[in-house]
Amino acid sequence: AQSVTQLDSHVSVSEGTPVLLRCNYSSSYSPSLFWYVQHPNKGLQLLLKYTSAATLVKGINGFEAEFKKSETSFHLTKPSAHMSDAAEYFCVVSVGYGGATNKLIFGTGTLLAVQP
Amino acid sequence: DAGVTQSPTHLIKTRGQQVTLRCSPKSGHDTVSWYQQALGQGPQFIFQYYEEEERQRGNFPDRFSGHQFPNYSSELNVNALLLGDSALYLCASSWGTAETEAFFGQGTRLTVV
Protein backbone atom coordinates (compact mmCIF):
# COMPACT_ATOMS: atom_id res chain seq x y z
CA ALA A 1 0.00 0.00 0.00
CA GLN A 2 1.10 3.53 -0.70
CA SER A 3 1.97 5.82 2.20
CA VAL A 4 4.11 8.80 3.09
CA THR A 5 5.96 9.62 6.31
CA GLN A 6 6.88 13.16 7.20
CA LEU A 7 9.87 12.95 9.45
CA ASP A 8 9.42 16.23 11.31
CA SER A 9 6.22 17.53 12.82
CA HIS A 10 7.71 21.00 13.45
CA VAL A 11 10.56 22.84 11.74
CA SER A 12 11.75 26.29 12.73
CA VAL A 13 14.11 28.38 10.59
CA SER A 14 15.27 31.97 10.49
CA GLU A 15 14.21 34.21 7.66
CA GLY A 16 16.72 34.01 4.82
CA THR A 17 18.05 30.55 5.78
CA PRO A 18 17.40 27.32 3.85
CA VAL A 19 14.31 25.18 4.41
CA LEU A 20 14.33 21.37 4.40
CA LEU A 21 11.14 19.42 5.00
CA ARG A 22 11.64 15.66 4.87
CA CYS A 23 9.32 13.04 3.42
CA ASN A 24 9.77 9.33 2.80
CA TYR A 25 7.34 7.34 0.72
CA SER A 26 6.31 3.74 0.42
CA SER A 27 4.95 2.46 -2.87
CA SER A 28 4.87 -0.83 -4.71
CA TYR A 29 5.27 0.96 -8.03
CA SER A 30 6.48 4.29 -9.35
CA PRO A 31 4.50 6.80 -7.31
CA SER A 32 3.04 10.19 -8.06
CA LEU A 33 4.10 12.52 -5.27
CA PHE A 34 3.02 16.01 -4.31
CA TRP A 35 3.70 18.71 -1.79
CA TYR A 36 0.76 20.84 -0.66
CA VAL A 37 0.82 23.89 1.63
CA GLN A 38 -1.94 24.98 3.96
CA HIS A 39 -1.95 28.47 5.43
CA PRO A 40 -4.13 29.11 8.49
CA ASN A 41 -7.82 29.17 7.66
CA LYS A 42 -7.11 28.59 3.99
CA GLY A 43 -7.45 25.68 1.63
CA LEU A 44 -4.67 23.45 0.40
CA GLN A 45 -2.48 24.74 -2.41
CA LEU A 46 -0.31 22.58 -4.64
CA LEU A 47 3.38 23.50 -4.43
CA LEU A 48 4.74 20.93 -6.83
CA LYS A 49 4.24 17.42 -8.18
CA TYR A 50 6.38 14.52 -9.38
CA THR A 51 4.91 12.16 -11.98
CA SER A 52 7.92 10.16 -13.21
CA ALA A 53 9.41 12.86 -15.41
CA ALA A 54 12.44 14.83 -14.15
CA THR A 55 13.52 13.79 -10.66
CA LEU A 56 14.16 17.40 -9.61
CA VAL A 57 10.84 19.18 -9.55
CA LYS A 58 10.48 22.93 -9.32
CA GLY A 59 7.38 24.42 -7.80
CA ILE A 60 5.90 27.74 -6.91
CA ASN A 61 7.41 30.35 -4.57
CA GLY A 62 10.95 29.02 -5.00
CA PHE A 63 10.31 25.55 -3.61
CA GLU A 64 11.69 22.41 -5.18
CA ALA A 65 11.83 18.71 -4.37
CA GLU A 66 14.00 15.84 -5.49
CA PHE A 67 12.67 12.34 -6.04
CA LYS A 68 15.25 9.78 -4.89
CA LYS A 69 14.13 6.23 -5.59
CA SER A 70 17.14 4.64 -3.87
CA GLU A 71 16.27 6.47 -0.65
CA THR A 72 12.47 6.45 -1.16
CA SER A 73 12.53 10.14 -0.35
CA PHE A 74 10.89 13.28 -1.69
CA HIS A 75 12.26 16.11 0.45
CA LEU A 76 11.08 19.69 -0.04
CA THR A 77 13.64 22.49 -0.06
CA LYS A 78 13.88 26.23 -0.49
CA PRO A 79 17.16 28.17 -0.53
CA SER A 80 15.93 31.13 1.50
CA ALA A 81 12.91 31.20 3.80
CA HIS A 82 10.48 34.09 3.81
CA MET A 83 8.10 35.03 6.59
CA SER A 84 5.18 34.23 4.29
CA ASP A 85 6.36 30.59 4.07
CA ALA A 86 5.15 29.92 7.60
CA ALA A 87 2.41 27.31 7.15
CA GLU A 88 1.69 23.60 7.34
CA TYR A 89 3.18 21.45 4.58
CA PHE A 90 1.89 18.07 3.50
CA CYS A 91 3.67 15.40 1.53
CA VAL A 92 1.15 13.44 -0.51
CA VAL A 93 1.12 10.27 -2.62
CA SER A 94 -1.66 9.49 -5.06
CA VAL A 95 -3.28 6.10 -5.42
CA GLY A 96 -4.76 5.18 -8.77
CA TYR A 97 -7.94 3.20 -9.26
CA GLY A 98 -8.89 1.76 -12.60
CA GLY A 99 -7.55 4.74 -14.46
CA ALA A 100 -9.79 7.19 -12.63
CA THR A 101 -8.47 10.36 -11.10
CA ASN A 102 -6.49 9.38 -8.10
CA LYS A 103 -7.18 9.64 -4.42
CA LEU A 104 -4.57 11.38 -2.29
CA ILE A 105 -2.89 9.95 0.79
CA PHE A 106 -1.56 12.71 3.03
CA GLY A 107 1.28 12.67 5.49
CA THR A 108 0.73 14.01 8.98
CA GLY A 109 2.12 17.41 8.08
CA THR A 110 5.10 19.57 9.02
CA LEU A 111 4.47 22.91 10.61
CA LEU A 112 7.06 25.40 9.39
CA ALA A 113 7.81 28.41 11.58
CA VAL A 114 9.93 31.26 10.22
CA GLN A 115 11.63 33.48 12.77
CA PRO A 116 12.52 37.08 11.90
CA ASP B 1 -12.97 31.74 -12.73
CA ALA B 2 -14.17 30.76 -9.29
CA GLY B 3 -12.22 27.93 -7.84
CA VAL B 4 -13.71 25.22 -5.66
CA THR B 5 -16.40 26.64 -3.42
CA GLN B 6 -17.79 25.02 -0.31
CA SER B 7 -20.73 25.89 1.88
CA PRO B 8 -21.28 26.60 4.64
CA THR B 9 -17.91 27.72 5.98
CA HIS B 10 -18.76 26.89 9.57
CA LEU B 11 -21.41 24.70 11.15
CA ILE B 12 -22.33 23.65 14.67
CA LYS B 13 -24.46 20.53 15.15
CA THR B 14 -25.60 18.41 18.07
CA ARG B 15 -24.73 14.75 18.50
CA GLY B 16 -27.16 12.50 16.66
CA GLN B 17 -28.13 15.11 14.11
CA GLN B 18 -27.54 14.95 10.39
CA VAL B 19 -25.55 17.40 8.28
CA THR B 20 -25.17 18.18 4.57
CA LEU B 21 -22.12 19.93 3.17
CA ARG B 22 -21.95 21.26 -0.36
CA CYS B 23 -19.23 21.67 -2.95
CA SER B 24 -19.07 23.29 -6.37
CA PRO B 25 -16.07 22.17 -8.37
CA LYS B 26 -13.76 24.36 -10.37
CA SER B 27 -15.12 25.18 -13.80
CA GLY B 28 -14.40 22.35 -16.23
CA HIS B 29 -13.79 19.74 -13.54
CA ASP B 30 -15.89 16.58 -13.39
CA THR B 31 -14.47 14.71 -10.41
CA VAL B 32 -15.08 15.60 -6.79
CA SER B 33 -13.34 14.09 -3.77
CA TRP B 34 -14.08 14.69 -0.10
CA TYR B 35 -11.55 14.67 2.73
CA GLN B 36 -11.83 14.93 6.50
CA GLN B 37 -9.10 16.82 8.35
CA ALA B 38 -9.15 16.43 12.11
CA LEU B 39 -7.33 19.01 14.18
CA GLY B 40 -3.56 18.61 13.91
CA GLN B 41 -3.75 15.85 11.31
CA GLY B 42 -3.49 15.46 7.57
CA PRO B 43 -6.63 15.16 5.46
CA GLN B 44 -8.10 11.67 5.11
CA PHE B 45 -9.89 10.52 1.96
CA ILE B 46 -13.61 9.89 2.41
CA PHE B 47 -14.81 9.18 -1.13
CA GLN B 48 -14.69 10.32 -4.73
CA TYR B 49 -17.45 10.96 -7.24
CA TYR B 50 -17.16 10.77 -11.00
CA GLU B 51 -20.03 10.70 -13.50
CA GLU B 52 -22.49 10.86 -10.60
CA GLU B 53 -21.21 7.62 -9.09
CA GLU B 54 -19.07 6.90 -6.06
CA ARG B 55 -15.84 5.76 -7.63
CA GLN B 56 -13.60 5.17 -4.64
CA ARG B 57 -14.18 5.11 -0.91
CA GLY B 58 -11.88 5.46 2.06
CA ASN B 59 -12.19 3.84 5.45
CA PHE B 60 -15.29 5.69 6.65
CA PRO B 61 -18.54 4.22 7.97
CA ASP B 62 -21.80 4.18 6.03
CA ARG B 63 -22.95 7.20 8.04
CA PHE B 64 -20.93 9.15 5.50
CA SER B 65 -22.65 9.31 2.15
CA GLY B 66 -22.57 11.56 -0.83
CA HIS B 67 -24.02 12.54 -4.10
CA GLN B 68 -22.90 14.15 -7.33
CA PHE B 69 -25.30 16.11 -9.50
CA PRO B 70 -25.35 16.42 -13.30
CA ASN B 71 -23.62 19.80 -13.03
CA TYR B 72 -20.77 18.02 -11.16
CA SER B 73 -21.49 19.70 -7.82
CA SER B 74 -21.52 17.40 -4.83
CA GLU B 75 -22.91 16.92 -1.36
CA LEU B 76 -21.49 15.14 1.64
CA ASN B 77 -24.02 13.84 4.16
CA VAL B 78 -23.18 12.63 7.62
CA ASN B 79 -25.87 10.93 9.72
CA ALA B 80 -26.00 10.28 13.46
CA LEU B 81 -23.23 12.76 14.18
CA LEU B 82 -20.60 11.87 16.78
CA LEU B 83 -18.30 14.20 18.66
CA GLY B 84 -15.44 12.64 16.70
CA ASP B 85 -16.91 13.90 13.44
CA SER B 86 -15.80 17.41 14.38
CA ALA B 87 -13.28 18.35 11.70
CA LEU B 88 -12.55 20.45 8.65
CA TYR B 89 -14.19 18.87 5.61
CA LEU B 90 -12.40 19.59 2.37
CA CYS B 91 -13.67 19.19 -1.14
CA ALA B 92 -11.26 18.73 -4.04
CA SER B 93 -12.05 18.81 -7.72
CA SER B 94 -10.10 17.57 -10.72
CA TRP B 95 -10.66 16.63 -14.33
CA GLY B 96 -10.60 13.41 -16.26
CA THR B 97 -8.84 10.16 -15.63
CA ALA B 98 -5.23 11.19 -16.11
CA GLU B 99 -2.87 12.30 -13.39
CA THR B 100 -4.12 15.80 -12.79
CA GLU B 101 -3.87 18.38 -10.07
CA ALA B 102 -6.61 18.43 -7.45
CA PHE B 103 -7.86 21.85 -6.46
CA PHE B 104 -9.13 22.25 -2.92
CA GLY B 105 -11.82 24.44 -1.45
CA GLN B 106 -11.33 26.26 1.83
CA GLY B 107 -13.37 23.70 3.66
CA THR B 108 -16.32 23.53 6.02
CA ARG B 109 -15.49 23.55 9.72
CA LEU B 110 -17.97 21.21 11.44
CA THR B 111 -18.25 21.25 15.21
CA VAL B 112 -20.36 18.60 16.91
CA VAL B 113 -21.42 19.40 20.49
pLDDT in tens, B39-97: 989 999 999 998 899 988 999 999 999 999 999 999 999 999 999 999 999 999 988 65
What is each CA distance from A18 to A62, A63, A68, B47, in whole angstroms?
A: 11, 10, 20, 37
Look at residue B3 and give its three-state secondary structure. Answer: coil
State the pLDDT confidence band at A5, using cuts at 50, 70 and 90.
Answer: very high
Is the CB of residue A111 less than 8 Å away from at least one CB of chain B? no
User: Residues B16-23: what's their mean pLDDT?
Assistant: 98
pLDDT score of A80 more than 90: yes
pLDDT score of A51 more than 90: no
Q: Which of A69-73, B21-25, B40-44, B52-56 has the highest mean pLDDT?
A: B21-25
Separation of first and last alpha carbons in chain A: 41
- Report d(CA B33, CA B23) in Å as an integer: 10
pLDDT of B11 reads 96
User: Residues B18-45: what's their mean pLDDT?
Assistant: 94
User: Å from A51 to nearest chain B CA?
Assistant: 8
Residue type, A46: L
Cβ-defined contacts of B57-65 (< 8 Å, 24+):
B58/A103, B60/B36
- Report d(CA A33, CA B110) in Å as an integer: 29
Instruction: Name, in order, each residue with C-beta under 8 angstroms of B60's C-beta and a sequence gap of 6 or more.
Output: B36, B46, B47
> Cα angle at A94 between A7 and A3, to 5 degrees?
35
Per CB-CB distance under 8 Å, the chain B contacts of A48 are none
B92 closest CA partner among B40, B59, B56: B56
pLDDT score of A65 more than 70: yes
| CB distance B85 to B112 below 8 Å | yes
Interface residues from chain B to A (CB-CB < 8 Å): 4, 31, 33, 35, 40-45, 48, 50, 55-56, 58, 90, 92, 94-107
pLDDT of A97 reads 60
